[in-house]
Amino acid sequence: MDNICIDSLILKLHDVGAVKFGEYKLKSGMVTPIYIDLRVLVSYPALMNQVSSLIYQRVQDEGLQFDSVCGVPYTALPLATIICSRHELPMLIRRKEAKDYGTKRLVEGSCREGDTCLIIEDTVTSGSSILETAEVLYKEGLKVTDAIVLMDREQGGVEMLASQGIRLHPIISMFKLLNVLLAAERIDAQTTQSVRKFILDNNTFSPKEENGDGVPATKKACVEQNLSYADRAKLPNVHPLVSKLLKIMGEKQSNLCVSADVTSTEELLQLADSLGPKMCMLKTHVDILKDYTVAFSQKLQALAENHNFLIFEDRKFADIGNTVKHQYEGGLYQISSWSHIVNAHAVPGPGVVKGLSSVGKPLGRGCLLIAQMSSQGSLATGEYTKAVVKMAEEQPDFVIGFICGSKITKRPEFIHMTPGVQMQPGGDVLGQQYTTPEEVICNKGSDVIIVGRGILEAPDRLKAAEAYRKSGWEAYMKRLGQSGQ
């Protein structure tokens, strides 16, 4: 999503009074120094169209699958209406109260039992309004797996909804809004600090532990979603390589994978040695090295052992089984002899995994399937992503997870790794899209951040790696509902 477009929208929302500073009482009862009043959008059709377009763009970016759309009454109703009318999507309307005449229904529109409904909301604090709407839809036999919100106040709504099996996809976060308004000199540093402190001090969600008296199946699944890395490493069905990675992550307090896109073996080894203590994994592109030798691969393995990280060769295998088998075990690079993990496209079908597995499985190696990509216009979305998950679930003895933009399966034995991570969201001229560590780990539910240029182009690579390690780990602790130290 275009970061410039988001910044412009934030300033326009402030212009029309949709963002107010002062003392305001929220639905939850708390008094807040900032109030988001998006009801004013109905008086600004151009702005409402812009918001609707961004919401639909986020739906497309996430590859969400659904049968109908429901806007939380009342502010999100016109947004849902514009989206559904423009893109010819079936829409449902949830009433806040049933009429005592006519059909007396709480949900208006045509729906079938078992259909999936996407919820759209304007602002989220605790997530209660989305959950209330979901519960009404559940009574109609509908499923709710995802919700899109324009503004996330970052006060526990994402976590609360995740605990109920609903993934929340925000367009704008509160801290992003504050940063933009501060940079544009719309607010001063004191106001910014005051609001930040309020947000951090007033999280509305506290994870509840199972009481042993019988928890509904849906809630058990959600508890599994929030397992720590250490707990997931102990699961009975987890792949040994995943278990090893999760233990490394816990021991080093790092979910950072450094993407070493350099062309010299000397520079790559230097990176591995200096940044080794900060990362859980090193990603290589061996075919861009100008001076590869077997001795290099041996030195790299020694550094991985010494600094306790895994090696991931980003080979992106994408051929028939017999061909990838030879590419993996032979040729100039003999990748299977030194790389713990490789990845593959699912386009060729399950044969690509079977070919790689015939070489890697006896060696204790693992494979990541590419389910989504961070490049603009990627075709790896929707049904393709679902097919990738199914392929992984059918071959869990070798497939250990996914390259993806967000969490795509609730099964905790799979690792989710996300590329295109930088401290500031945005993109480059070649279509690469960047997302922040907090967005990737905390909001999108991924496990590992893959960082390349954010570290390689920094004046001090070691300092940058530490900053990403710390940011990624704090986002993980926030996801668990703990206070990361």
Residues marked as catalytic: 314, 316, 319
- The sign of the torsion formed by the CA atoms of 162, 479, 157, 427 equals negative
List C-alpha distances in Å: 405 to 14, 51, 62, 177, 421: 30, 22, 8, 22, 10
By CB atoms closer than 10 A (0-12, 13-18, 19+), residue 263 is exposed
Pairing state between β 91-94 and 19-25: unpaired
Continuous segment of H or E residues that includes residue 94: strand 91-94
Distance CA 299, CA 304 (A): 9
Amino acid sitting at position 447: D
Closest alpha carbon to 12 in 66, 56, 49, 62: 49
Query: What angle (nearest 5°) sits at the alpha carbon of residue 305, between those of residues 301 and 311?
Result: 50
Contact 296, 269 (CB under 8 A): yes
Structure tokens at 89: 């999507």
Structure tokens at 271: 């990176």
Distance CA 450, CA 381 (A): 20
Closest alpha carbon to 207 in 196, 197, 195, 215: 215
Residue 416: beta bridge partners? 402
Residue 450: beta bridge partners? 257
For 315, left (φ over 0), alpha (ψ -120 to 50), or beta?
A: alpha
- 177 Cβ partners below 8 Å, 6+ apart? 10, 19, 151
Continuous segment of H or E residues that includes residue 480: helix 461-480
Distance CA 446, CA 408 (A): 9
